[in-house]
Structure 1
Amino acid sequence: MNDLAAQDREVAGELAAALSRVLDRGRYVLGPEVSAFEQEFAAYCGTPHAVGLASGTDALALALAGVGVGPGDRVALVANAGGYGTAAVDSLGAMPVYADVDGESRLIDPTDLDRVLAATGARAVIVTHLYGALADMATVTGLAARHGVKVVEDCAQAHGAGRDGRRAGSFGDAAAFSFYPTKNLGALGDAGAVVTADPTIAERVTRLRQYGWDRKYRVALPHGRNSRLDELQAAVLRVKLTRLDAGNARRSALARRYGSAIAHPKVELPAVTGPDHVAHLYAVLTEDRAGLAAHLRAHGVASEAHFPIPDHRQPAVGDRYAGTSLPVTERLCRQVLSLPCHPGMSDADADRVADAVNCWGA
């Protein structure tokens, strides 16, 4: 599904120089590399503020805390995005309430979100830009304003996706990014960030990432944690940020190639049409996922289901959501299968994958 070593090999010299710079300086936590990356990434996203954190899940949790979510609050979100949003909500003692997704976009369905917000009195909504596709933020932010709820964008799969001159992360009250190694902008380990236009949210997240301190050893905010982006990862991300747009363009080109080359009556392809989709994953749908995956494996092609179990049907929640019906979400989770799509692939690689899909059942 990915060849991270090959992708990193292309910038090995720059990465080595960046890491050496940190080692020579001898400062490893919350130093000049983190500050520089925060400034550069905020500028890239089109927001005044970015706060570097230890992971994408922490970024979601602290973004929610930054907009005022706390114990007992309800947070609306989708259930087809791998459980990371639910984990962040649970970590704050808040309660997830789920909206269904649109069958075509596979993103949050504004009509169902409207219903959920009206019925639950949610304090915030997490809008996940899944697979690299930017959600309908104009409609969602309009609904949020009408219901008086805060909007947190989950941009873990959408670094650089844009619409009408704005990039993912600049539409909501706050946004969370993951820099897990497989992301469009990936570190050499776990890392994350919150971006926002609101200085109060930025200050709150900055305090919460380090125990809630307003100065050393003085806890000014409750429920803080240790979630600091380290200098080594920040230095790596600074190198890779300069290549993000080129990597996104390559992903999109591969997705378009798949769209032209794959033609199988039992395989539904995603719509990857413009800059609002950066092709983090190329997720097809089929009613026989196991059969297609086995066929691809036999032809030497990797695949993976993103994501097979909806959040409200995870074993850990028991019958907590027994009365929750999300028919589109549940269908997509049964059918979704991701094909390889990353900047290290050649056109020939993509053609090989497409040929393998097309000969399924032949």
Structure 2
Amino acid sequence: MRVPLYDLKAQNEPLKAQMMAAVENVMTHQRFVMGEEIDVFESEMADYCGAEHAIAVSSGTDALLLALMAYDVRPGDEIITSAFTFFATAGVIHRLGAKPVFVDIDADTFNLAPERLEEAITQNTKGIIPVHMYGRCAQMAEILEIAERRRLFVVEDAAQAVGARMSLGMAGAIGDAGCLSFYPTKNLSALGDAGMVLVKDEARAERMRRLRIHGSPDNSEYLEVGGNFRMDTMQAAVLSVKLKRLEEWSAKRRQNTRKYQERFEAGGIVGERFAPPSIPAAGHVFHQYAVRTTERDALQEHLLCNGVGCAVYYSSPLHLHPCFDGYRQGDFPESEAAATQVLSLPVYPELPDVDLDFVADTVIRFFE
């Protein structure tokens, strides 16, 4: 038996007719750039997330870049973020000439540890980018309290957490702005790259709409230098079809997670050598089902040899990449430990029970 980490065909095939109809409509009207489907999808996402404004863009990375541009991040500024996340979170900071300042994570949630924030703030700090890692909401109440007191903006990196909820609201719509990714393997996925910025302030939203089209509100007068950050009309059309299924898919991911938990506990392997992710009452959509083990590399080899798809997200914390100066091994021990221990198992919504059981059996067999 072979079980993939993702199965895009299993999700896309049942919706193929609806998606093709949406694409055919775009082919009919021929407005491939900034067609009416963009406005429709933005409105749908704003309603779904409880956001005042939604700006459709070309990727999750460009969403982060656009948000920071709209908050006037410049050389000399410092932006605080997690040491354990995808490269783009820090890459966009560096790209604007600012300095990414890393803080360590909470060992249980993999999210930025709020108690580490104060010590990282300097007179040059302009904002904070908390990451909702693997689909679990960060501790936003504590982060927002510190940000408000220190007069810092908060841009959520919710690229992995579309649909995640907590008491303060939906991931991406809690801070001043939030960024989503619709990369093909994300929980809400396009047929290519696409992303979105959610934002509270109307003036800031208007500026983002201008910046995504090179800095012009009407393609005639350029008020500032922006970029080409537009989402293709076809992607918006497809995403509108898929959005209607997102709640169902999120529920199925949580259901699969509970099944894994039951199997691993019944198998007697949960302990010092192996730990499945904790399951909070709310606020997690399990973009990744990341287990922890001190025998990660051996387990990964065992799974791959037995036909189970798995992957490491991420094998190195950001502060140890050569492009970011000023850090060394040992600076962020929790992030460094996570990078050597995490392993993602299949959790996609369409995962058949027989495949999930095979994955669980293969993991249990390794630790027996």
Give 3-state SS (helix, strand or coil) of 1:98's partner. Answer: strand
Does residue 113 of the first structure (1) align with residue 120 of the second (2)?
A: no
Which residue identity is paired with 2:61? T
Which position in structure 2 is the counterpart of 1:4? 8
Shift of 1:169: 1.4
**What CA distance in whole angstroms lies between the structure 2 residues aligned with 1:325 and 1:253?**
37
Question: Which 4+ stretches in 1 moved above 4 angstroms?
Answer: none
Deviations 1:70-115 (A, max 9, x none): 2221000002112111111112111100011111111110110121
Match of 2:71 in 1: 67
Does 2:291 correspond to 1:284? yes
The residue number in structure 1 matching 2:36 is 32
Matched residue type, 1:213: S
1 CA distance for matches of 2:206 and 2:124?
27
Contact 2:76/2:124, CA 8 A, preserved across alignment:
no
Report the count of equivalent residues: 359
Shift of 1:324: 7.5
What SS does the corresponding residue of 2:310 show, helix, strand or coil? Answer: coil
The alignment partner of 1:262 has SS state of: helix
Query: C-alpha separation between the residues in 2 aligned to 1:186 and 1:70?
Result: 32
Answering whether residue 202 of structure 2 is matched by residue 199 of structure 1, we say: yes
Change (3 A) 1:190 1:212: same
SS at match of 1:177: strand
Q: 2:244 matched to which residue of 1?
A: 242
Contact 2:168/2:174 (CA < 8 Å) preserved in 1? no
Residue type of the alignment partner of 2:294: E
Cα offset for 1:120? 5.6
TM-score (normalizing by structure 2): 0.95
Asked whether 1:136 is paired with 2:133, we answer no
- Give distance in 2, aligned partners of 1:336 and 1:217: 50
Q: Does the C-alpha gap of structure 1 residues 254 and 27 become closer, same or farther in structure 2, counting only changes over 3 Å?
A: same
1:1-362 map, 5 Å? 1-117=5-121, 119=122, 121-164=124-167, 166-222=169-225, 224-263=226-265, 264=269, 265=271, 266-317=273-324, 319-322=325-328, 325-362=331-368
- Give CA-to-partner distance per residue, 1:112-145, whole Å, 9 cap, x none: 012112x464101001000110111111100101
CA contact (8 A) 1:67 1:174 kept: no
Partner Cα separation in structure 2 for residue 70 and residue 52 of structure 1? 23
Q: CA deviation at 1:215?
A: 2.3
Q: Deviations over 1:268-312 (max 9, x none)?
A: 111123330001100011112110001111211011001111111
Deviations 1:219-263 (A, max 9, x none): 2123x1111001000000000010110000001100111111114
Shift of 1:57: 0.4
How far apart are the structure 1 equivalents of 2:119 and 2:17? 52
Tell me the SS of whatever aligns to 2:130: strand
Mean Cα displacement is larger for which, 274-283 or 257-266? Answer: 257-266
- Structure 2 alignment gaps of length 5 or more: none
Q: How far apart are 1:67 and its partner, in Å? A: 2.4
Deviation at 1:360? 0.2
Contact 2:330 2:336 (8 Å CA) reproduced: no
Note if contact 1:67-1:173 (Cα within 8 Å) is conserved in structure 2. no
TM-aligned CA distance change 1:252 to 1:33, over 3 Å = same
Q: Comparing 4-13 with 319-328, which one deviates more in the overlay?
A: 319-328
Is the Cα contact below 8 Å between 1:78 and 1:98 reproduced in 2?
yes
Separation in 2, partners of 1:253, 1:297: 24
Moved more, 194-203 or 212-221: 212-221
Residue 196 of structure 2: SS of its match in structure 1? strand
Superposed CA RMSD in Å reads 1.4
SS state of the match for residue 254, structure 1? Answer: helix
> Displacement, 1:165?
6.5
Q: Does the C-alpha gap of structure 1 residues 84 and 339 become closer, same or farther in structure 2, counting only changes over 3 Å?
A: same
Distance in 2 of aligned mates of 1:185 and 1:337: 22
Q: 1:173 to 1:324 in 2, by over 3 A?
A: farther
Local SS of the residue matching 1:76: strand
- Give the Cα separation in 1 of the matches to 2:287 and 2:174: 20
User: Secondary structure of the equivalent of 1:72?
Assistant: coil
3-state SS, counterpart of residue 175 of structure 1: strand
**What one-letter code is carried by the residue in structure 2 that aligns with 1:228?**
R
Counterpart amino acid of residue 313 in structure 1: L
Cα deviation, residue 164, structure 1: 2.0
TM-score by length of 1: 0.96
Amino acid aligned to 1:285: R
Report the Cα distance in structure 2 between the residues aligned to 1:288 and 1:309, rounded to whole angstroms. Answer: 16
